[in-house]
Structure 1
Amino acid sequence: MNRIPSKIKITSVIVASLFFGLMGMKDGVAQETLNLDDAIRIGLERNFAIRIAENNTRISENNNSLGNAGFLPVISADGAINKRIEDNETRYGSGAPIPDRNDEGAETTVYNYGVNASWRIFDGLTMFATLDRLSTLSEISEVEARNRVELVLADIITGYYEIAGQQKAAQVLENTVEISEERIRIAETARDLGSGSEYELLLARADMNTDQAALIRTKTNLNQLKVLLTTILGDTTEAAFTVQPEIELAGKLSLENMIAEAVAQNRELTIARLTEQAAEAEIRELRGDWFPQVDVSGGYAYSRTEASTGFSEFSQSQGFRYGISASVNLFDGFNKQRRQENARIALKNEQLRRQDLELQVRANVSRVYAQYDDALSLIELEEENLEINKQTVEIALERFELGTINSIELREAQQSLLNAENRLIEAQITAKSAEIELLRLSGRLLSQIE
């Protein structure tokens, strides 16, 4: 008479745990829920790599100027006051009509100031090529910043859904431990009443220890994933949060479209193309070495000298000056040829890097898409397996109530359901991670968020 209530009780525990707890319905310690939009917002504001990339972009923008390219004149002003105090002794030859002099502490003061300007008006069009190169470098910096943002976004989204999956796995194991504890209680009661054996009790305890160890490992992994995410978000002080358990996938992606978009707008490929343009601009810069350089200059100068001794008290000059000059390098030990040849080789290397990178991007898209497609197939299969295992547990529960199977067989059915749930979670995370990587490779991830 005592076994019937025990069966009914464990049946209630199993049904409530498996069909509600396994689906993430169980409440644990109250924690703040971090949704994905907030995680992205915090990451974009605080992530250190993004902030560094933004600063580098500002540096490139500052460098992209007419003055840095050599278009503008250079204007300087200078001034000086120099004073001398010295003893002068002058002796003239015998018969000279001028008496000898002996001046002690004679002071001489010299004042100089002026404004000077120089402007290179022709340098073989080097300044235009330099401006093109600086503009390209500024654009490269902007694309690098967007690439960094996309990398961080991919890490945030992937890390978020990994936490969601690990959170579900922890809930599954918490429910498993509760069921194992109930099995132990029933086994102890059955042994005390003489209807059970010590062997079944030991098996139940071993199963609970296994479940508890798995739960500890899962919670450790969950905390580590939270620390990794908060590190990406730029703040590791608070990891006591939960995430939304749903793992949502976008519509089915097309391999052909992904490859075409990746070749056209992948950030790294864009940087490679721009780097190639910068190398071409550098060649144009070096061509200016073969042309003369023409400078115009002008200025205003003032000079005054005051002396306490001598024939004059002061002398003074002031006025404007201007002029034009030209210079050309006729021979420099073949260094001009060497620099141009090296620049052409560097351009060829950039072209080869761009071709190699395009091949790698195509291969990466194909490789990740295969993982994505397989994961979608696995999701469909594991969802079917999950339904089958749910039905199997229902049948096992009915037979357990009738006494036709023991707790070990019930445990096997329960474990099969848990494994099916974990495989489904793993397939969903794999599919979502591959989806995010495909969007990043194709250059669409940032536009999706915006």
Structure 2
Amino acid sequence: MRIKTFSLTTILVVLVQIISAQEKVLSKEEAVKLALENNFGIIIAKNNVEVAENNKNILNSGFLPSITGNAGANYQRDDSTFEFPGQFITDEDGNQVPRPDTDLYKAEAQRYNAGLTANYTLFDGLGRLYDYKRLKEEYNLSELQARETIETTILQLFTVYFEVARLSENIGVLEETFSNTKNRLQRAEYSFEYGQNNKLDVLNAEVDLVNDSINLMNERQTFKNTQRDLNVLLNQELIKVFRVDTTIVFTDPLTLDNYLNEGERNNIRMLQAEKNVMINDYSLKAGKSVFLPTIGLTGSYGWNLNQSAPSAFFPGINTNNTRNFALGANLTWNLFDGGSGITQVKNAKILLDSQDTLQEQIEQEVKRDIANAKGNYENRLEVFRLQEQNVNTATNNYNRSNERYKLGQITSVELRQAQLNLLNAKTSKNLAKYNAKLAELELLQLTGQLLNTNL
């Protein structure tokens, strides 16, 4: 019976390996590419940049003239009867007779007109100039905001990506632990059958095997859940299954030092703060335009065609065709608007001062964040190196304990403890490896280099 069970297990393991081999490997580069193309937050951020680009266009600047066209047509038809009471006319015989009524049927009148009016502001106190510059800076700010969204999404992406990688490596460790416990159970059963040990070793191995199986099942379920989390970030089908690259390469220390030297200058929060100061400065300058006059030009061209209907006194059709052209200039100076303009300028100055203060605050916070991130990265990297050494020590300890167990020099409980030590060492090393890489990515984000390095 045990032989059949072993054969079935072997077949299942082979099938799992075949299915895993068929799964597509999702590389880090491909994951980033999919996120940039499909992530919902990044798509919205790109749309916001397009809106800001439209706003900074010359068509939205106020520097172009406004041209208005108008046209009209009017048609009128009258049927009239004209009476002349008390009026007489001389007939052919020379007699005075009453003047007969006159009837006009289908008397048509038509009127047509068309015109163009153009207005252009020559000078508005420089308000539109500074508004145009402000719109350009708002576009630059939107690009920085989109970059921040992309950086945050990429960092979130690799947080989940590395979690998938960590869980996949942990599953391998747990499978190895399960296999070792299973072999121990088989040896304990053989030894019990031949009377070399008691039933306790068999029972201990069975309990340990059940625990290892449960741990493996839970880890696999967590792995599937995390894969679905990654699919959401990449906007892929939730049922999509893949493997990830578990290779980790850390940034060269010299390169990282260069990034740190320019970190404050390239930090995304610092760049945004600078743009906000410029935007508020342009808003203040544009607000001062209320103290200056506005000079504009106007021009118009018109055409009118009037065809009047015949009447009792003018039986023919009268046509009047006119064209006109006009140019004009105007100057408007709002000498006093009740004080609202002065209030707006004062408030704009206060907002600019607040933005300068906020920039100083952000500068201090960025320095702190970079220093903390650097310390965290160095600490986690050292922890990872120590965990690697711990794995070597735990491996040697388990191998020696296993040999001593075969020789009957230690108990199954002592062997199990060595096995658990090795399991914990390997899983802790996996956790330390990816924690160190995530700490590096956070440091790269703060220095503005997350999108400029090979991950």
TM range (shorter): 0.7 to 0.9
Q: 2:55 aligns with which of 51, 58, 63?
A: 63
Q: Distance in 1 between matches of 2:65 and 2:101?
A: 53
Asked if residue 163 in structure 1 is aligned to residue 168 in structure 2, the reply is no
Q: Give the drift of 1:87.
A: 6.7
Give, as a single letter, the amino acid of the residue that structure 2 aligns with 1:347: L
Q: Distance in 1 between matches of 2:294 and 2:433?
A: 66
Give, as a single letter, the amino acid of the residue that structure 2 aligns with 1:387: N
Q: 2:34 aligns with which of 38, 42, 46?
A: 42
Q: Where does residue 296 of structure 2 map in the other structure?
A: 295
Question: Contact 1:302/1:318 (CA < 8 Å) preserved in 2?
Answer: yes
SS of equivalent residue, structure 2 residue 280: helix
Q: 1:154 to 1:247 in 2, by over 3 A?
A: same
Give, as a single letter, the amino acid of the residue that structure 2 aligns with 1:177: F
Asked if residue 336 in structure 1 is aligned to residue 329 in structure 2, the reply is no
Q: Distance in 2 between matches of 1:447 and 1:404?
A: 57
Q: Where does residue 147 of structure 1 map in the other structure?
A: 148
Q: Give the drift of 1:167.
A: 1.0
**Which string of whole-angstrom CA distances, capped at 9 and with x for unpartnered residues, describes residues 38-84 of structure 1?**
22222223223223322322222222123322111112222111234
Q: 1:423 aligns with which of 416, 425, 428?
A: 428
1:10-409 equivalent positions in 2, closer than 5 A: 29-30=20-21, 31-85=23-77, 107-237=108-238, 239-252=240-253, 260-310=261-311, 311=314, 313-409=318-414
Q: Distance in 2 between matches of 1:247 and 1:240?
A: 21
Q: Distance in 1 between matches of 2:85 and 2:366?
A: 95
The TM-score, its normalising length taken from structure 2, stands at: 0.85
Question: Contact 1:258/1:365 (CA < 8 Å) preserved in 2?
Answer: no
**Which string of whole-angstrom CA distances, capped at 9 and with x for unpartnered residues, describes residues 329-367 of structure 1?**
123221111221222222223223322222222222222
SS of equivalent residue, structure 2 residue 118: strand
Q: Distance in 2 between matches of 1:92 and 1:209?
A: 123
Q: Distance in 1 between matches of 2:81 and 2:289?
A: 58
* Residue identity (%): 28
Asked if residue 437 in structure 1 is aligned to residue 442 in structure 2, the reply is yes
* C-alpha RMSD of matched pairs (Å): 2.9
**How many residues are treated as equivalent by the alignment?**
426
Give, as a single letter, the amino acid of the residue that structure 2 aligns with 1:367: N
Q: Distance in 1 between matches of 2:273 and 2:80?
A: 73
Q: Distance in 1 between matches of 2:215 and 2:258?
A: 42
Q: Where does residue 7 of structure 1 map in the other structure?
A: none
Q: Give the drift of 1:255.
A: 8.9
Give, as a single letter, the amino acid of the residue that structure 1 aligns with 2:387: E
Give, as a single letter, the amino acid of the residue that structure 2 aligns with 1:308: A
Q: Where does residue 14 of structure 1 map in the other structure?
A: none
Q: Distance in 1 between matches of 2:300 and 2:128?
A: 24
Q: Distance in 2 between matches of 1:178 and 1:408?
A: 17
Q: Where does residue 8 of structure 2 map in the other structure?
A: none
Give 1 or 2 for the bigger CA radius of gyration: 2
Structure 1 alignment gaps of length 5 or more: 1-25
Question: Contact 2:259/2:449 (CA < 8 Å) preserved in 1?
Answer: no
Q: 1:332 to 1:176 in 2, by over 3 A?
A: same
Question: Contact 2:232/2:238 (CA < 8 Å) preserved in 1?
Answer: no
Q: Where does residue 21 of structure 1 map in the other structure?
A: none
Q: Distance in 2 between matches of 1:366 and 1:324?
A: 62
Q: Distance in 2 between matches of 1:147 and 1:175?
A: 42
Q: Distance in 2 between matches of 1:62 and 1:380?
A: 52
Question: Contact 1:223/1:239 (CA < 8 Å) preserved in 2?
Answer: no
Structure 2 alignment gaps of length 5 or more: 1-16, 90-98
Give, as a single letter, the amino acid of the residue that structure 1 aligns with 2:405: F
Q: 1:187 to 1:86 in 2, by over 3 A?
A: farther
Q: Give the drift of 1:90.
A: 8.1
Q: Distance in 2 between matches of 1:99 and 1:317?
A: 37
Q: Give the drift of 1:99.
A: 10
**Which string of whole-angstrom CA distances, capped at 9 and with x for unpartnered residues, describes residues 116-154 of structure 1?**
211100101112111211111111122222222222322
**Which string of whole-angstrom CA distances, capped at 9 and with x for unpartnered residues, describes residues 16-36 of structure 1?**
xxxxxxxxxx88732222221
Q: Give the drift of 1:170.
A: 0.8
Asked if residue 448 in structure 1 is aligned to residue 439 in structure 2, the reply is no
Q: Give the drift of 1:268.
A: 2.1
Q: Distance in 2 between matches of 1:147 and 1:288?
A: 34
Give, as a single letter, the amino acid of the residue that structure 1 aligns with 2:326: R
Q: Distance in 2 between matches of 1:252 and 1:102?
A: 106
Q: Give the drift of 1:322.
A: 0.8
Q: Distance in 2 between matches of 1:201 and 1:96?
A: 144
Q: Give the drift of 1:37.
A: 1.9
Question: Contact 1:163/1:222 (CA < 8 Å) preserved in 2?
Answer: yes
The TM-score, its normalising length taken from structure 1, stands at: 0.86
Q: Distance in 2 between matches of 1:145 and 1:402?
A: 65
Give, as a single letter, the amino acid of the residue that structure 2 aligns with 1:376: L
SS of equivalent residue, structure 2 residue 341: helix
Q: Give the drift of 1:410.
A: 1.1
Q: Which moved more, 1:257-266 or 1:324-333?
A: 257-266
Q: Which moved more, 1:291-300 or 1:208-217?
A: 208-217
Question: Contact 1:376/1:431 (CA < 8 Å) preserved in 2?
Answer: yes
Q: Where does residue 19 of structure 1 map in the other structure?
A: none
Give, as a single letter, the amino acid of the residue that structure 2 aligns with 1:29: S
**Which string of whole-angstrom CA distances, capped at 9 and with x for unpartnered residues, describes residues 196-220 of structure 1?**
4343333222212221222122112
Q: Where does residue 3 of structure 2 map in the other structure?
A: none
Q: Give the drift of 1:303.
A: 1.1
Give, as a single letter, the amino acid of the residue that structure 1 aligns with 2:308: A
Q: Distance in 2 between matches of 1:122 and 1:104?
A: 58
Q: 1:329 to 1:184 in 2, by over 3 A?
A: same
